[in-house]
Amino acid sequence: MNIQTKAAASSSATRVAQIDGNRLAGDLNEQGFAVLEKLLSQEECLAIASLYPIDNHFRSRVVMDRYGFGKGEYKYFAYPLPCLIGDLRTALYCRLAPIANEWNERMDSTCATRQSTRSS
């Protein structure tokens, strides 16, 4: 499977639209992460994983131990992103932005409360 094809990426918006938004928000709020089961097929996962050893697909590599983040490494895809990755990113952004905005509002109010407590 070629993850660069538009056919592979065309269903990204449909897949993301099927995610239970309440569960997504709840998991993120309670755990700080959410598992989106079956977002990718096994074939798509294998195709994406097969890119990892090919350095020209990536713009940078982070060795986590170097920064005290734990063990392992991760890489950032180079641009242009593979179609499937780019389309999922776009579709997921629309679902995640409201949650992030809500977190930002809560952080702002928490910071304001702390500042007013300090100045009292």
53 part of a folded domain: yes
Q: Report if residue 74 sits inside a domain.
A: yes
Establish if 15 belongs to a structural domain. Answer: yes
Is residue 88 one of the residues assigned to a domain? Answer: yes
Beta carbons of 103 and 26 less than 8 angstroms apart: no
Digit-by-digit pLDDT tens for the chain (120 residues) are 456 555 555 589 999 999 999 999 999 999 999 999 999 999 999 999 999 999 999 999 999 888 888 899 999 999 999 999 999 999 999 999 999 999 999 888 766 666 666 665
**Torsion angles phi and psi, residue 57, rounded to 5:** -85, -5
37: helix, coil or strand?
coil
**Domain of 19, in residue numbers:** 6-114
Question: Is the pTM for the entire model greater than 0.75?
Answer: no
DSSP string computed for 55-91: GGGEEEEEEGGGGTS-S-EEEEEPSSPPHHHHHHHHH
Q: Nearest Cα to 83, choosing from 15, 2, 9, 7?
A: 9
In a domain, 120, yes or no: no
119 in a structural domain: no
The pLDDT of residue 104 is 92
97 belongs to a structural domain: yes
Q: How far apart are CA 37 and CA 21, in angstroms?
A: 13
Q: What SS3 class is residue 30?
A: helix
Cβ atoms of 73 and 64 within 8 Å: the answer is: yes
**Domain tally for the chain?**
1
